[in-house]
Amino acid sequence: MGELFEALEEFSRVSRDHYRKIQEILNKEHCWKCPMRSTSKSTSCRDIDAWIRLTGAFERGIHEHLLLKDDSGDNLEAITSRYLSKVIKKHSRNLKYHKTVLLKLKEDIKPFAKKGDLLVVKENPESVKEGDLILWPQICPVSTYWFSKAKLAGYIPFNIIEVSETFHKGNCRYIKTYNDIEIPLEFTAGKIVKIIGVNDAHYFH
């Protein structure tokens, strides 16, 4: 473990130095023209932006290495799916409940839901079946920290897809849609339990 510990410590030091460097670059080249610069100390926006950019660069490096190593996009998808599965399972062990979220749509997602509808979404479903509606983010949620924050802020463009079948490929669980899109289950944001329309008796503002 000595060599592994040293390698990780070295990466930690490099990350710390580059994190500070990115903050300095942001302050020098971007923050001075930001209309919110007067509140940057209280909002810590520069700290957060540097964190997101550094995490993104780290993940791009991993992706490039895996693609060069295997020369296969399918293998990258499988590894990413397994990584997400392990992160989700580790997080779930600390929870004593199943997490369900309520989302209000800002625009139509045809043909399933309209602007203003409320979506009751069960996150990290253990299983799905034919006919289930799935909430699918139009980005790959590899960076768990960034994905969760962006989702809460409503920045992620979502789509609703209907499951036509489920299957396993390369030890990963996949769902297939009626227009033949195949997606690892871990890449989805959750299963839609119910759609509450604006005229529904259970709708609330």
Same domain assignment for residues 118 and 174: yes
The domain tally of the chain equals 2
Same domain assignment for residues 108 and 175: yes
Q: Is residue 95 part of a domain?
A: no
Nearest to 120 by CA among 13, 197, 198, 195: 195
Q: Is residue 141 part of a domain?
A: yes
Torsion of CA 191, 196, 197, 202, to 10 degrees: 180
CA distance 193 to 117: 13
Same domain assignment for residues 167 and 110: yes
Is the pTM higher than 0.95? The answer reads no
Residue 137 sits in a domain of what CATH number? Answer: 2.10.109
Q: Is residue 205 part of a domain?
A: no
Beta bridge partners of 9: none
Q: Is residue 91 part of a domain?
A: no
Q: Is residue 78 part of a domain?
A: no
pLDDT in tens, 49-105: 888 888 888 888 888 888 787 655 667 777 777 777 676 666 656 555 567 888 888
Among the candidates 23, 53, 71, a domain finishes at 71
Nearest to 175 by CA among 125, 141, 139: 125
Could you please report the per-residue DSSP string of 120-165?
Answer: EEESS-S---TT-EEEEESS----HHHHHHHHHHT-SPEEEEEEEE
pLDDT at 66: 80
Same domain assignment for residues 109 and 48: no
* Range(s) of the domain holding residue 116: 100-196
Among the candidates 30, 55, 71, a domain finishes at 71
Beta bridge partners of 133: 162
pLDDT at 155: 54
Beta bridge partners of 182: 176
Among the candidates 23, 56, 71, a domain finishes at 71
